[in-house]
Structure 1
Amino acid sequence: MAVTIDIIDENSFLSEQEKIWLTELLQKACTEEKVSEHAELSLTLTNDEIIQEINKEYRGIDNPTDVITFALNDGENELQAELPNLLGDIIISMDKAKEQATSYGHSLERELGFLAVHGLLHLLGYTHDTVETEREMFGRQESILQSHGLAR
């Protein structure tokens, strides 16, 4: 059994094969982070307009961003094996992912993988608000991406 991952592709940005690849990446990341098999998360792929509305409503920032996460239970169901551990939602702007892939000079696959894993790590409690936590989070992120063939 694996973590349940629902991908919501609002504008048909990805092919079915790309969705499978993205699911496999997140499954691998969950395995490496020792996430319970009873866990669930969703990943929504949207555009700049929608993510800007979400960013404004929930963060008070009236600009589009690349990824936003909403943790649901902060691990409160982890000890109850019969109940799913609802990790939360990851929302990615495909407009930003494409723009950043070009800007950073790497593939869209690499950028999308980076944003998805980044979002997952936030759902798992990682932060990057200090030098130490940033080093830890980005180190985990790069390790997961490299193990999936997405090295920089």
Structure 2
Amino acid sequence: MGLQLAWSNEQELLEIGEDLIELLDALLQSAGVAEGVTEGEVALTFVDDEAIHQLNREYRGIDRPTDVLSFAMNESLDEELDIVYELEQGDEMDSPLNMLGDIIISVDRAQMQSEEYGHSLKREIGFLFLHGFLHLLGYDHQDDASEAEMMGKQEAILTQVGLLR
């Protein structure tokens, strides 16, 4: 099966072209190799600031827009143990095991940040997608050490696919 990218567009600022999706898929494949993740599906949704603001308020209790949100499907050990048990029993389980999670990107915020940082919108969207993917795998940036590790991984993969600053 491999790593799969499923995407949807719920914003009107940017037309999402096949070239951008191919680039994001290349990032997903490179990150998968780097992290030893060989199977799974990532659902990506492009939204505007209003939609991501609402999601950020509802799910994180933060009343402002953000650039990217990630929702991992298997965040608790209990859920993972249930999945392993069901697989050992021979049950078919596509969705919970194979679905890594959802990534939501605000195209409005990505546009602003690309201008602020002086690089392309494609690079910013790629950075946000990769950032979200690493969150799905359990990476975080709550302290300096974990932030440095996550940023290092992001920069290495972005460089590998040619998304330079």
TM-score w.r.t. length of structure 2: 0.83
Task: After TM superposition, give the deviation of residue 16 of structure 1 in Å.
Answer: 2.1
For 2:108 and 2:151, locate their aligned partners in 1 and report how far apart those are by CA, in whole Å: 23
**Which position in structure 1 is the counterpart of 2:33?**
31
Greater RCO (CA < 8 Å, at least 6 residues apart): 2
For 1:21 and 1:114, locate their aligned partners in 2 and report how far apart those are by CA, in whole Å: 11
CA RMSD in angstroms comes to: 2.0
For 1:65 and 1:145, locate their aligned partners in 2 and report how far apart those are by CA, in whole Å: 21
**Which position in structure 2 is the counterpart of 1:8?**
8
Task: After TM superposition, give the deviation of residue 78 of structure 1 in Å.
Answer: 7.7
- Give the SS at the match of 1:17: helix
Matches within 5 A, 1:97-112: 97-112=110-125
Structure 1: unaligned runs, 5 residues or longer: none
**Which position in structure 2 is the counterpart of 1:68?**
69
Structure with the bigger percentage of helix: 2
Q: Deviations over 1:28-74 (max 9, x none)?
A: 2112211132x111111100000000001111111110001111113
8 Å CA contact 1:78, 1:85 repeated in 2:
no
Q: Which of the numbers 124, 128, 133 marks the counterpart of 1:120? A: 133
Asked if 1:95 is matched to 2:70, the reply is no
Q: Deviations over 1:100-128 (max 9, x none)?
A: 00000000111011000000000000000
- Give the SS at the match of 1:25: helix
**Identity percentage of aligned residues:** 49
Paired letter, 2:159: Q
Paired letter, 2:46: L
Task: After TM superposition, give the deviation of residue 24 of structure 1 in Å.
Answer: 2.0
8 Å CA contact 1:36, 1:85 repeated in 2:
no
TM-score w.r.t. length of structure 1: 0.90
- Between the two proteins, the alignment pairs up a number of residues equal to 151
**Which position in structure 2 is the counterpart of 1:151?**
164
Q: Deviations over 1:55-102 (max 9, x none)?
A: 011111111100011111138258959743321100000000000000
Paired letter, 1:102: E
- Give the SS at the match of 1:97: helix
Task: After TM superposition, give the deviation of residue 11 of structure 1 in Å.
Answer: 2.9
For 2:55 and 2:49, locate their aligned partners in 1 and report how far apart those are by CA, in whole Å: 10
Question: Which deviates further from its counterpart, 53-62 or 10-19?
Answer: 10-19
